[in-house]
A = this chain, B = another copy of it.
């Protein structure tokens, strides 16, 4: 059941550079659940993944091979992948921070991985204990071995717009680091507004700089956080620049809406409402997505931050 069938928004077909079809890169099971205080039981994660696949999402970032010491919420990565009932046509990428993570991913039969880098020195230091240039020493063997094994590799780039320690991030620096990740052999670069501060003009300018530097818009994805309420406006700006892969999190999982540093992901349902309204194909069923997110919200014991889930939830 799409938004239209739920009775309300009118579909106004795509124009102004909008893509005809968008791939929703669902990060809730990984980026969402890794930020939960509580460790979610593996059975719940598996059912969540299955409900999201049944709702028509074609890419489900399933888990992460970050060391369990850092992200105990995803310490069950091997068990989860071992028990995962993979649906035909659905991709299940996993996050891999280093060669040890790649070893675990390969042993688990993973075919699609993502690495994550930083566009700023401070975040490279804090998150990766490295530098903007130094992080490539970590990525090179991971991406090289993964590609040699025939895996597809996505790269996340964090802090592409603002950094809480450094302030605004020079777009030229983002393009330089991003291009280097693509040159390494990554097939897609996801531009992350990790702290949610970006506004639409900044998004447009960064995308223009990338395409001006010879990076096709098909190689780019966007990953917005709704910390300052800008995620969907930024997404619309990116769509108008032709971006056709958008990261989002079912139910907006991934940030506590009450915390001072709320960093909630763009909610998949709010994205689907926009895409449906714009007449952009995406393959997901809004009613089933809302049901899956409500089911997950009940497991987590708190309401979904997605506006659409709240508005449509019973």
Chain copies in the assembly? 2
Within 8 A of B (CB), among A197-220: 197-202, 204-205
> Do residues B267 and A8 form an inter-chain contact, with CB atoms below 8 A?
no
Interface size in chain A (residues, C-beta < 8 A) = 58
Q: Mark A219-251, 1 if CB is under 8 A from B, else 0.
A: 000000011111011011100000000000000
With A228-B270, A228-B307 in contact, do A278 and B10 touch (Cβ < 8 Å)?
no
Q: Any chain B CB within 8 A of the CB of A109?
A: no
Residues from chain B with Cβ under 8 Å of A258 in the complex: 303, 310
Task: Give Cα A295–Cα B173 distance, bound, in whole angstroms.
Answer: 40
- Give the distance to chain B from A133, nearest Cβ to Cβ, in Å: 23
> Do residues A278 and B311 form an inter-chain contact, with CB atoms below 8 A?
no
> Do residues A9 and B162 form an inter-chain contact, with CB atoms below 8 A?
yes
Residues from chain B with Cβ under 8 Å of A8 in the complex: 162, 164, 167-168, 195, 197, 228
Q: Any chain B CB within 8 A of the CB of A12?
A: yes
Residues from chain B with Cβ under 8 Å of A205 in the complex: 12
> Do residues B227 and A260 form an inter-chain contact, with CB atoms below 8 A?
no
Pick the contact of A230 from B257, B270, B313 — CB < 8 Å?
A: B270
Q: Any chain B CB within 8 A of the CB of A279?
A: yes
Pick the contact of A201 from B198, B233, B277 — CB < 8 Å?
A: B277
Q: Any chain B CB within 8 A of the CB of A176?
A: no
> Do residues B277 and A200 form an inter-chain contact, with CB atoms below 8 A?
yes
Pick the contact of A273 from B230, B257, B278, B306 — CB < 8 Å?
A: B230
> Do residues A200 and B278 form an inter-chain contact, with CB atoms below 8 A?
yes
Q: Any chain B CB within 8 A of the CB of A13?
A: yes
Q: Any chain B CB within 8 A of the CB of A7?
A: yes
Task: Give Cα A228–Cα B267 distance, bound, in whole angstroms.
Answer: 10
> Do residues A277 and B308 form an inter-chain contact, with CB atoms below 8 A?
no
Q: Any chain B CB within 8 A of the CB of A106?
A: no
Closest B residue by C-beta to A259: B310
Q: Any chain B CB within 8 A of the CB of A274?
A: yes
Pick the contact of A9 from B12, B199, B233, B276 — CB < 8 Å?
A: B199
> Do residues A229 and B306 form an inter-chain contact, with CB atoms below 8 A?
yes
Residues from chain B with Cβ under 8 Å of A232 in the complex: 229-230, 232-233
Residues from chain B with Cβ under 8 Å of A150 in the complex: none
- Give the distance to chain B from A257, nearest Cβ to Cβ, in Å: 6
> Do residues B168 and A10 form an inter-chain contact, with CB atoms below 8 A?
yes
Closest B residue by C-beta to A16: B204
With A162-B10, A236-B233, A310-B257 in contact, do A199 and B262 touch (Cβ < 8 Å)?
no
Other A-B pairs, 11, CB within 8 Å; known A196-B311, A228-B311? A7-B164, A12-B201, A12-B204, A200-B274, A200-B278, A227-B307, A229-B307, A229-B308, A233-B236, A260-B312, A261-B311
A-B contact pairs, 23 of them (CB 8 A): A8-B195, A9-B162, A10-B162, A10-B167, A10-B168, A10-B198, A10-B202, A12-B204, A14-B201, A15-B201, A201-B279, A228-B273, A229-B267, A229-B270, A230-B270, A230-B273, A230-B277, A233-B233, A233-B236, A236-B236, A236-B237, A260-B313, A261-B311
